[in-house]
């Protein structure tokens, strides 16, 4: 019996390489692997030791090369589309992010359909927690189906939203979108960029390790090859999360990290005036166990990241501990650490740069207003801390979720669309059909077609509104569904519209 062939993108990246390593023992046994990796000196060196391995074929090329993508699709049975142009790089190059993230996804799906495999080929898309954006307390618990709401200026998220929409509406029989959370591991420990200061002190994330992410990909392919992956897995969206042991708020993570260096007073390191109070992304998941129950991938906790961070710091840890034991040592060590932040803070996307140059749009996005920024205390210890982490404010999805999927009908869709401030224009619907598109209109008068799967399970809404701008304040006034994730975090007069530089329509 012929072994299935897995086509993997992004094998040279963080999650991709961990997936690749996890899959190596299976190659030539459970399945074969075909990887398309960018032709670079780094990738040539990374994969040269594997050339000739049984069950592995390496093709160096570009994901935007449609001929290379066509070849890989025609010679495989399942695709793990892990490759992505991610933040913080995506923040600096929005067009490149859209070209790579949306363009590559579209090319793979189009190749699947062109090859006539739309009813047999299996497509695994890696989305992102950034699609749902800022979910600061008290709405910090979330689940699939909550409103899509990429944070302002997060073009990585914007590109992934467009790509996920294309996946869900592709017509493929076997697709799945796995929204990846923050990945802890050596790569995260190396980040030195302005994005560090966009992550708010009360922000939360249910992280997952790079190793566990790789294990999820390996198990998916292994279970599929062994035919033990339940058919119900396909055609849905899931959150990738590490579970309870991987949940933390930023403040608590910082306390834990710096304590390893002997620093217990975060006032010596964190400056509230240069740390955003909103507009990042993250949430604790109410539903991440669903994916764990299918793929059984969890093994790591936050300690894995702490260990990786300490290893990255190297000899500096022991040096720091010695200084911190001296009188005034924590203050000295804190000053040294803060001095290493200066370049990032003053860079193009640095929070200090936003303030010093009075970039009103950025100030409004990351703090609410100049006045709100000015009200911030000088010391972190003087900031009011959120503590009610266990209380869940569950987002209403606007339809009866207790009904079996096969019972969803036209009346359910009318109610759900109305709850989103829109109007269902279709007057017929096949009961229980989550795939076929229905015609609807948003509160701003844009008409579009979308499937119940996209709207109810995906949390997506009007594509025209999504493309044009971040117009969240005005949208919240006419969309009760969306208002649930905007109003608790914003004042009624926060109505600034932030135009977008690029959309998926700009990708050739």
Residue 101 lies in a domain: yes
Residue 316 lies in a domain: no
User: What DSSP string runs through 160-218?
Assistant: HHHHHHHHHTS--SEEEEEEE-PEESHHHHT--SGGGGTS-TT-EEE-EEHHHHHHHHH
Residue 13 lies in a domain: yes
Rounded distance between C-alpha atoms, residue 79 and residue 42, angstroms: 23
Q: Which residues of 194-217 are buried (b: 16+ CB within 10 A; e: fewer)?
A: bbbbbbbbbbbbbbbbbbbbbbbb
- Quick one: 427 and 290 in the same domain? no
Rounded distance between C-alpha atoms, residue 105 and residue 99, angstroms: 10
- The domain tally of the chain equals 2
- Quick one: 445 and 296 in the same domain? no
Tokens of 11: 């094998």
User: What DSSP string runs through 285-311?
Assistant: ESSTHHHHHHH------THHHHHHHHH
Residue 335 lies in a domain: no
In the Cβ-directed half-sphere of 204, how many Cα atoms lie within 13 Å? 25
Residue 425 lies in a domain: yes
- Give the per-residue pLDDT at 346: 96
Q: Residue 124's domain spans which residues?
A: 5-189+206-242+285-300
- Give the per-residue pLDDT at 179: 98
- Give the per-residue pLDDT at 312: 81
Residue 351 lies in a domain: no
pLDDT digits over 200-251, tens only?
999 999 999 999 999 999 999 999 999 999 999 999 999 999 999 999 999 9
Among the candidates 266, 300, 334, a domain finishes at: 300
Residue 319's pLDDT band, with cuts at 50, 70 and 90, is confident
Residue 63 pLDDT > 90: yes
pLDDT digits over 337-381, tens only?
899 999 999 999 999 999 999 999 999 999 999 999 999 999 999
Residue 471 lies in a domain: yes
Residue 320's pLDDT band, with cuts at 50, 70 and 90, is confident
- Quick one: 289 and 414 in the same domain? no
Residue 1 pLDDT > 80: no
pLDDT above 90 covers what percent of the chain?
A: 90
pLDDT digits over 71-81, tens only?
999 999 999 99
Among the candidates 274, 300, 326, a domain finishes at: 300
- Quick one: 72 and 210 in the same domain? yes
- Quick one: 296 and 419 in the same domain? no
Dihedral sign for Cα 301, 302, 306, 308, please: positive
Decide: 250 and 202 in contact? Cβ < 8 Å. Answer: yes
Burial of 223 (0-12, 13-18, 19+ CB in 10 A): middle
Backbone angles phi, psi at 166, to 5 degrees: -65, -40
Residue 387's pLDDT band, with cuts at 50, 70 and 90, is very high
Residue 383 lies in a domain: no
Tokens of 92: 């600096």
Q: What is the CATH number of the domain that holds 157?
A: 3.40.50.720
Decide: 264 and 330 in contact? Cβ < 8 Å. Answer: yes
């Amino acid at each position: 019996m012929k072994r299935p062939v897995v086509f993997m993108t992004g094998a040279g990246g963080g999650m991709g390489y961990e997936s690749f390593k996890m899959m190596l023992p299976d190659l030539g046994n459970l399945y074969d692997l075909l990887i398309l990796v960018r032709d670079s000196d780094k990738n040539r060196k990374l994969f040269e030791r594997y050339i000739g391995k049984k069950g592995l074929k390496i093709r160096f090329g570009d994901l935007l090369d449609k001929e290379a993508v066509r070849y890989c699709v025609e010679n495989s049975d399942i695709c793990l589309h892990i490759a992505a142009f991610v933040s913080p790089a995506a923040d600096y190059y929005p067009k490149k992010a859209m070209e790579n993230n949306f363009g590559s996804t579209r090319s793979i799906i189009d190749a699947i359909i062109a090859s006539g495999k739309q009813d047999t080929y299996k497509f695994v898309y890696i989305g992102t927690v950034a699609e749902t954006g800022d979910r600061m307390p008290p709405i910090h618990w979330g689940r699939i189906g909550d409103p899509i709401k990429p944070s302002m200026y997060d073009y990585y998220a914007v590109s992934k939203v467009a790509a996920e929409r294309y996946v869900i509406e592709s017509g493929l029989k076997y697709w799945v979108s796995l929204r990846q959370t923050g990945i802890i591991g050596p790569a995260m420990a190396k980040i030195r960029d302005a994005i560090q200061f966009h992550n708010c002190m009360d922000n939360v994330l249910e992280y997952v390790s790079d190793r566990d992410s790789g294990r999820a990909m390996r198990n998916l392919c292994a279970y599929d090859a062994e035919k033990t992956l339940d058919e119900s897995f396909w055609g849905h969206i899931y959150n990738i999360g590490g579970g309870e042991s991987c949940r933390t708020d930023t403040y608590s993570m910082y306390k834990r990290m710096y304590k390893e260096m002997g620093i217990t007073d975060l006032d010596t390191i964190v400056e509230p005036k240069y740390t955003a109070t909103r507009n990042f992304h993250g949430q604790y998941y109410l539903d991440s166990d669903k994916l764990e129950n299918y793929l059984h991938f969890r093994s790591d906790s936050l300690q894995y990241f702490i260990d990786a961070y300490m290893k990255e710091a190297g000899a500096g840890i022991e040096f720091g501990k010695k200084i911190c034991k001296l009188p005034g040592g924590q203050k000295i060590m804190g000053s040294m650490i803060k001095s290493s932040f200066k370049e990032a803070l003053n860079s193009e996307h640095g929070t200090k740069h936003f303030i010093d140059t009075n970039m009103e749009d950025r100030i409004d996005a990351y703090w609410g207003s100049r006045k709100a920024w000015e009200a911030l205390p000088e010391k972190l210890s003087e900031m009011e801390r959120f503590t009610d982490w266990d209380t869940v404010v569950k987002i209403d999805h606007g339809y009866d979720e207790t009904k079996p999927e096969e019972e969803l009908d036209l009346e359910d869709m009318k109610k759900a669309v109305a709850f989103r401030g829109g109007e269902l224009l279709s007057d017929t619907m096949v009961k229980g059909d989550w795939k076929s598109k229905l015609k609807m209109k948003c509160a701003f008068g844009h008409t579009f077609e979308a499937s119940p799967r996209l709207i109810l399970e995906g949390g997506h809404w009007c594509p025209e509104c999504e493309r044009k701008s971040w117009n969240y304040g005005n949208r919240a006034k006419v969309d009760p569904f969306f208002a649930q994730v905007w109003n608790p975090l914003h004042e009624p007069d926060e109505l600034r519209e932030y135009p977008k530089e690029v959309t998926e329509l700009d990708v050739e």
